[in-house]
Structure 1
């Protein structure tokens, strides 16, 4: 074989080797891309499942609380009103019978009010600011501590699922403050902050060391719930100087 033929053969085999190498590389990239597509699809499916599970759990929790509230109202409030109405209506005195009818009208209003809470339609009918103000008023009404709400009303337009998650997370944060913080003042701030809507829940209570591991899973659950709606949960606290919780939700 001549030198020229050897060079041609070398070029031919070299080209063939490069072609095989390129083909192998391309095939590998295609396979890798498809694997990543499958993984991403599985990840999205998992996130969707977790999201739906979280929303369902929150709805169940709120419904259970609602039923507990209704049971308490039926026993403590409406039950007492019915007893008073019965006593007055059984009286022969016209003024007592009139008072009994007044009680009946009050009972009707109370029952109508309770019926509205049997489903979650109230979530759509109330703004997040109104809900928070109601919660803070209840806390202050017990004499537990002073409360305040400062809002720029940037949370007026929320999807029902977002509102459900925020309602539950805020409820849990307020419950934790009541159970553990012993504050003199509890403040909630709501405002737009750049590309986010931000809620700060601030108390001047006992505070705690965030470096110490908690035995419960409360903070982890709150973090995961915020993640299901694309938000974040952040907590900072100092012993003796209170606690600050920040909830961020992208606009």
Structure 2
């Protein structure tokens, strides 16, 4: 039998030991928690840096596409108008001089319209629906294929960064259809379903076997860009049956 004095010492020692053990456990848990907090902050910082990098890249690409389009318009539209002006001015007929004046006025209008696209101010002044309608009209005006747009204006309210990413993704999807699909028709549908909004881009072109999709980074990049704004990118296609792209973006909370 343990003497009473020894029992007291054992109790005191056990209490101290358990207290020390508990303190060590608490300190360890606090340390682990702070480590996780630091890792979370670091991960959030990295995500923010990546997000800002993506937006800068998207803005740069849109600038480049805009400048390319301006170059085409300068060559095809304004260049043609100025050539007609020169021909008409070289004529001795008075009515040709009148036509030359009309060509000059038309060229001035074209230059003013182009000047408005040299910066990204139009991103804020133009709705996504209006932008898509303009792109489809340009495609159809070339005679390449028929186009159509159906929209319930689900994307009327967008943050600038969301609109930038969506503009670039839609732009890239249309470019892919033009370059690779050889369609007779491109249709875009904008709608909402529950808590999410959808942009469907469909063409009736030659399609492709998604199981044999190349290792290119095009589709991956589009998917990652949608992720930066909390959205999703999906694609379905089959040889001879066209391609359907779905862009999904939740409503802002």
How far did residue 223 of structure 1 move?
Answer: 0.9
Taking a change above 3 Å as real, the CA distance of residues 79 and 144 of structure 1, as seen in their structure-2 partners, is closer
Normalization by structure 2: what TM-score?
Answer: 0.90
Q: Measure how far apart 1:209 and its partner are.
A: 2.9
1:80–1:139: structure 2 CA closer, same or farther, 3 Å change rule?
closer
Q: In the aligned structure 1, how far is the partner of 2:110 from the partner of 2:144?
A: 26
Q: Residue 243 and residue 2 in structure 1: after superposition, are their counterparts in 2 closer, same or farther (change >3 A)?
A: same
- CA separation in 2, counterparts of 1:119 and 1:227? 26
Aligned to 2:249: 249
Equivalences for residues 21-32 of structure 1 within 5 A: 21-32=21-32
Aligned equivalents of 2:183, 2:64: Cα separation in 1: 28
The match for 2:165 is: 165
Q: How far off its partner does 1:162 sit?
A: 0.8
Structure 1: 5+ residue stretches without partners: none
The 1-side partners of 2:93 and 2:237 are apart by 63
- Listed as ranges, the gaps of 5+ residues in structure 2 are none
RMSD of aligned residue pairs (Cα, Å): 2.0
Match of 2:238 in 1: 238
- Alignment partner of 2:212: what SS? coil
2:63 aligned partner: 63
Matches within 5 A, 1:66-145: 66-145=66-145
Q: What is the distance in 1 between the residues matched to 2:64 and 2:112? A: 19
**1:20 alignment partner in structure 2:** 20
In 1: Cα distance, 2:129 partner to 2:122 partner = 14
Supply the distance in 1 between the matched residues of 2:31 and 2:8 (Cα, whole angstroms).
34
- TM-score, normalised via structure 1 length: 0.91
Q: Distance in 2 between matches of 1:204 and 1:86?
A: 43
- The residue that corresponds to 1:229 in the other structure is 229
Q: Please give the per-residue CA displacement for 1:154-197, whole angstroms capped at 9, x wherever unaligned.
A: 11111121111001101111222222333343222211111111
State how far apart, in whole Å, the 2-side matches of 1:105 and 1:93 are: 19
Over 6 Å off, 4+ runs:
none
| Alpha-carbon distance, 1:2 to partner | 5.3
Structure 1: how far apart are the matches of 2:143 and 2:170? Answer: 20
For this pair of structures, how many residues does the alignment match? 251
State the 1:215 CA deviation.
2.4
List aligned pairs for 1:201-216, cutoff 5 A: 201-216=201-216
1:240–1:122 Cα change, 3 Å: same
Alignment of 1:183-194 (within 5 A): 183-194=183-194
Identify the range of structure 1 (167-176 vs 111-120) with the bigger mean alpha-carbon deviation.
167-176
